[in-house]
């Protein structure tokens, strides 16, 4: 079951330090652009992933093509993609040993969630961490 309990979601957000944001955009009018900045302001290291802007920098971070290019351990893979594009990203998250996958508002893939959970990952669906942090009063991340 994806996480729906406020306490469990808050714990996930409080223990995470590094987030890979798949679908990061360099366009300020896009939600992923704003959410990345919000997460960084809260103290997370956010690594942007987007094959269309690979090699550029977004909010001070190098943009990677795929999750398998990341060398750092990832606590949460935050997915800013349509539901029909979520499955392969979840499979990559499993392959790189991420601790959790977070499907943004409107992104729901029960089969991918089941695969992630079977592999030991925590799953959040149809929520936004930038909304959950203030709602759950998550303390800022400290190094």
- How far is it, in rounded angstroms, from Cα 141 to Cα 115? 29
> Model's pTM, two decimal places?
0.95
What domains can be seen in the chain, in order of their start residue? 6-136 (3.40.50.720)
Strand partners, 57: 62
Extract the runs of DSSP E, i.e. beta strands, from the chain.
18-22, 45-49, 57-58, 61-62, 76-79, 100-103, 122-124
Residue by residue, pLDDT tens for the chain (143 residues) are 778 899 999 999 999 999 999 999 999 999 999 999 999 999 999 999 999 999 999 999 999 999 999 988 999 999 999 999 999 999 999 999 999 999 999 999 999 999 999 999 999 999 999 999 999 999 998 75
């Amino acid at each position: 079951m994806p996480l729906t309990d406020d306490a469990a979601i808050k714990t996930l957000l409080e223990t995470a330090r590094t987030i890979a944001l798949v679908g990061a955009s360099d366009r300020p009018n896009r939600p992923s652009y704003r959410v990345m900045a919000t997460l960084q302001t809260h103290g997370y290291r956010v690594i942007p992933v987007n094959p269309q802007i690979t090699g550029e920098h977004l909010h001070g971070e190098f943009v990677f093509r795929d999750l398998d290019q990341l060398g750092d351990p990832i606590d949460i893979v935050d997915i800013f993609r349509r539901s029909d594009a979520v499955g392969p990203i979840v499979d990559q998250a499993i392959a790189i040993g991420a601790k959790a996958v977070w499907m943004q508002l409107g992104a729901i893939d029960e089969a991918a969630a089941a695969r992630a959970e079977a592999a030991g990952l925590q799953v959040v669906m149809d929520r936004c961490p930038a909304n959950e942090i203030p709602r759950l009063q998550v303390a800022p991340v400290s190094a």
